[in-house]
Amino acid sequence: MSDRRGSDRWGPDRWGSDRWRPVAFKTRVDEVLHGFVAQEAEQLSAIDPALGPVAGQLEAAVADGKRLRAAFCYWGWRAVGQPDSDALVRAAASMELVHAAAVVHDDLIDDSPLRHGRPTAHIALRAAVRRRPRAVAAARSLAMLVGDLLMSLAGQLFATSGLPAAYLARARPLWSVLARELIAGECLEILRTGADPDTTASLKVIRYKTAKYTVEQPLLIGGALAGAGRRLREGYSAYGLPLGEAFQLRDDLLGLFGDPERTGKENADDVRGHRPTALLAETWRIAGDGERERLSALLGRRDLDAEGLDVVREVMSRLKAPDRIEAMITARVEEALDALHELDTPPYAAAALTALARSAAVRLS
């Protein structure tokens, strides 16, 4: 099989009819998610009116999002040469429920107060239990169960997408891999939190906590549904892993240096939590004794104020740690695009995956 991206066998007129339209695609995914979760939330509330706030958090969990994971799953299918399909869009939308579950659990573990500019699930649910004993712990327990249910609903949406059973069977083993790697990454972050910063360890956390389930696994699942061959699947991994890492490295930068009005999150979260980000690890690696002493006095402080946060930013900027992370992002995007250009995919799919690589790594939120 040829490695040329623009082989004539894909047809000269496909580019016009298959141009990547991210806004229209997001609308399709949103319609699936909002309708599906609304029905599930209604059925949950019908069990008992007291479950209303929990059902509300199910819907809140899918209210926003870039829908990148659904897009990578969709193009994992289309890059094999398969046509657009509403059933495939439903299957791809299940990737967003995986993400929603991961976000609820991650916010709970990190005790993050905001997501998309709104209170996170474990904060919002305090209102439902404010008159109960140990209300804060009760709200956290409810949020944990919201995340659990979202993960279950992801599997249900995938299984009922409308794709043939034989197609679904090809992809089903990848779900257990996705879950295992996602949980491994979250566990590694917990185990590394508060430890001496280490870039290699931080990049491993990034790979398993974010990179794989954001880009690689959605691509592989879409490819498996479409019957992708070994060479194409290997190419998906060669493209997806570095791109997924670039995505999270961008998140690390935005988490500390981004505009909270755009990110919808507090800038101090990573510093207060002493999380093992690559940005912190690179700063620590090149910092002198005096700079490490200043950082040690601030990392992990739950009462960190704006002045303390500015000190952390100043140290990082002076050591040019953000520039190092930018360079890491650029290198990973280039690696991903080089791998993509080696694949024999339809030109419209290659164009879409190129655009997705740019939007994943170059963004403000």
pLDDT in tens, 325-343: 999 999 999 999 999 999 9
* Percent of the chain's residues with pLDDT above 70: 95
At 269 the pLDDT is 87
| Same topology between domain 20-63+86-162 and domain 172-365 | yes
At 17 the pLDDT is 55
DSSP string, 248-308: HHHHHHHHHHS-HHHH-S-TTHHHHTT---HHHHHHHHH--HHHHHHHHTTTT-TT--HHH
DSSP string, 13-44: THHHHT---HHHHHHHHHHHHHHHHHHHHHHH
232-241 burial by CB neighbour count: b if 16+ within 10 A, else e? bbebbbbbbb
Query: Beta partners for 76?
Result: none
Helix axis angle, 199-206 to 230-257, nearest 10°: 120
What sign does the CA torsion over 29, 31, 36, 37 have? positive
Give the number of residues written for the chain: 365
61 or 2, greater pLDDT: 61
* Alpha-carbon separation of residue 51 from 54, 57, 118, 139, 277 (angstroms): 5, 10, 20, 13, 37
Q: pTM here?
A: 0.92
At 267 the pLDDT is 85
Mean of pLDDT values over 208-234: 97
Of the options 3.30.70.1520, 1.10.600.10, 3.40.50.720, 2.70.70.10, the CATH number for the domain spanning 172-365: 1.10.600.10
Q: Tell me: the pLDDT tens digits for 235-254?
A: 999 999 999 999 999 999 99
Q: What does the alpha-carbon distance between residue 202 and residue 217 come to, in Å, rounded to a whole number?
A: 20
Mean of pLDDT values over 295-321: 95
DSSP string, 89-125: HHHHHHHHHHHHHHHHHHHHHHT--EETTEE-HHHHG
Helix (H) or strand (E) segment spanning residue 340: helix 321-341
Instruction: Determine what percent of the chain falls in helix, strand and coil, rounding each to the nearest 5.
Output: 75, 0, 25
Q: What does the alpha-carbon distance between residue 262 and residue 133 come to, in Å, rounded to a whole number?
A: 36
Place 16 in a pLDDT band, splitting at 50, 70 and 90: very low
Query: Where exactly are the structural domains of the chain?
Result: 20-63+86-162, 172-365
Nearest Cα to Cα of residue 158 among 169, 144, 147, 148: 169
Q: Is 60 exceeded by the pLDDT of residue 97?
A: yes
Tell me the average pLDDT of the chain.
93
- Superfamily of domain covering 20-63+86-162: Farnesyl Diphosphate Synthase (1.10.600.10)
Amino acid in position 138: A
Q: What is the largest CA-CA distance in the chain?
A: 68
Place 11 in a pLDDT band, splitting at 50, 70 and 90: very low
Q: What are phi and psi of 118, to 5 degrees?
A: -120, 160
Task: Name the token pair of 251.
Answer: 């998140």
